[in-house]
Structure 1
């Protein structure tokens, strides 16, 4: 169900909940809970994890975060021992459900808003 995430706080809580659901402990990942460490402004302007720009606002298809969660590029291929980073989350019992990744992608596509959309 798209639209669960409407604020950055929703996104942060959603990420925590998804990690718990798959048995991931981001605090042991090497980059921690980066979504808790950066502000919304940093996230949407120049937020980086391990030298990679996390999100392209409005464009989930070009957002590294989505590729890391899906494991759909060579850098994040869980089946490739030569992958640069590995699929996120590392060392979890499983990966995020497609529906959860779609929820995050939908929020990115809607502009990573931190509240209601501005009226026109």
Structure 2
């Protein structure tokens, strides 16, 4: 992901946590903060040490970033997203991570409506 698409500072995370809406399932919590006039969406990741060692946490973050990269055209672009990974995410495959995140996306209603022809 490009630098412009990352949420890095504590203030940015706090703003999304404080003003955003959250939706969760067993593996992930998704915070969404709509931002008018913003270019592409921005993504912040939080994977606690409770999830596993550094190798495991980095693998989970790679899987999450890959899902956002693949589904970028389906997501509303005028928002900031923060994903918090919970402990069960450590033992998931990339396909399971994708299915779980899509479930959270549907619950949060962040997917664009499919165009009907």
* Greater strand fraction, Structure 1 or Structure 2: 2
When normalised by structure 2's length, the TM-score is 0.28
When normalised by structure 1's length, the TM-score is 0.27
